[in-house]
């Protein structure tokens, strides 16, 4: 579904991403790990076109999107949940979800499957996003990204600042989305995560970054054997 080929990115004179490559397949969760400041969030922004790549390629569903703006990537089926959630605090839950329908034809309803994944949102449709708890806001941010029924979901640290019971719910939803999406079709998931146990439990494949480079990768089942926890320990 997604293939990132040897991409490089700079901020000013700083070389942030150094030849990063990864693949994300439908039906799998691909986890990106690393300490703070190694380029994980920059990588995700490059995938969505929010920052440009200076070299390399990003291929989505067989098509190069390296030069495509974010709205084109969204139309093609890429969904993005940024770090910090970035919901619209003054809009209601219903309005936030409708914002996720921007790539769909006018009048498209909010998919009812979202309320099966996140029942709490159905109870709060008229509440402003800024009045939700952190965990509820994270669920709203994920649901907003899913409203357009993407083929690929990109998540940047969805457990950050979230209470443990909500973390479990989010983990369950991510696994379900990978295997059956919203309509029974497997979805590709790219997950950046600091919470190691959460990442290990979900990972079909893992990738570890350090100083903008990939230093380790492989099947998620080998993370313990390969000492990945020690590679990302602060």
- The whole-number pLDDT of residue 234 equals 60
Phi first, then psi: give them for residue 65, nearest 5 degrees.
-120, 15
Q: How many domains does the chain have?
A: 1
What's the chain's average pLDDT?
A: 92
**pLDDT per residue as tens digits for the range 43-102:** 999 999 999 899 999 999 999 999 999 999 999 999 999 988 889 999 999 999 999 998
Q: What would the pLDDT profile of 11-28 be if each residue is shown by its tens digit?
A: 888 899 999 999 999 999
Of the pLDDT bands very low, low, confident and very high (cuts 50, 70, 90), residue 37 is confident
* Residue 79 pLDDT: 94
Looking up residue 160, the CATH number of its domain turns out to be 3.40.50.300
The 10s digit of each residue's pLDDT in 158-206 is: 988 888 888 999 999 999 999 999 888 999 999 998 888 999 999 999 9
pTM of the model: 0.90
Helices (H), the chain: 40-48, 70-76, 93-99, 113-117, 119-122, 134-146, 164-180, 196-202, 228-232
- Flag whether pLDDT at 230 surpasses 90: no
How far apart CA 207 and CA 192 sit, in angstroms, is 10
Of all residues in the chain, what percent carry a pLDDT higher than 70? 100
Written as six digits, the tokens of 89 are 């605090």
pLDDT of 7 > 90? The answer is: yes
User: Mind listing the pLDDT tens digit for each residue in 106-164?
Assistant: 888 999 999 999 999 999 999 999 999 989 999 999 999 999 999 999 999 998 888 88
Q: Residue 166 belongs to what domain range?
A: 2-232
**Comparing C-alpha atoms, which of 142, 152, 33 is closest to residue 83?**
142
């Amino acid at each position: 579904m997604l293939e990132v080929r040897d991409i490089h990115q700079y901020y000013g004179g700083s070389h942030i991403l150094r030849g990063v490559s990864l693949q994300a397949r439908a039906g799998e969760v691909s986890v990106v790990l690393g300490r703070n400041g190694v380029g994980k969030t920059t990588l995700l922004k490059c995938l969505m076109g929010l920052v440009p790549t200076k070299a390399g390629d990003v291929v989505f569903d067989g098509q190069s999107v390296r030069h495509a703006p974010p709205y084109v990537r969204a139309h093609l089926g890429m969904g993005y949940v940024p770090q910090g959630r970035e919901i619209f605090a003054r809009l209601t839950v219903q309005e936030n979800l409708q914002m996720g329908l921007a790539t769909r034809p006018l009048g498209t309803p909010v998919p009812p499957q979202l309320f099966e994944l996140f029942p709490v949102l159905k109870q709060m449709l008229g509440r402003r996003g800024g009045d939700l708890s952190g965990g509820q806001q994270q669920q709203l941010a994920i649901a907003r990204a899913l409203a357009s029924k993407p083929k690929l979901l990109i998540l940047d640290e969805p457990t950050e600042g979230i209470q443990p019971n909500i973390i479990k719910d989010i983990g369950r939803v991510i696994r379900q989305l990978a295997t059956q999406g919203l309509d029974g079709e497997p979805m590709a998931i790219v997950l950046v995560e600091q919470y190691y146990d959460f990442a290990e439990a979900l990972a079909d494949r893992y990738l570890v970054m350090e100083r903008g480079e990939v230093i380790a990768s492989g099947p998620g089942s080998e993370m313990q054997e390969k000492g990945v926890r020690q590679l990302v320990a602060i």
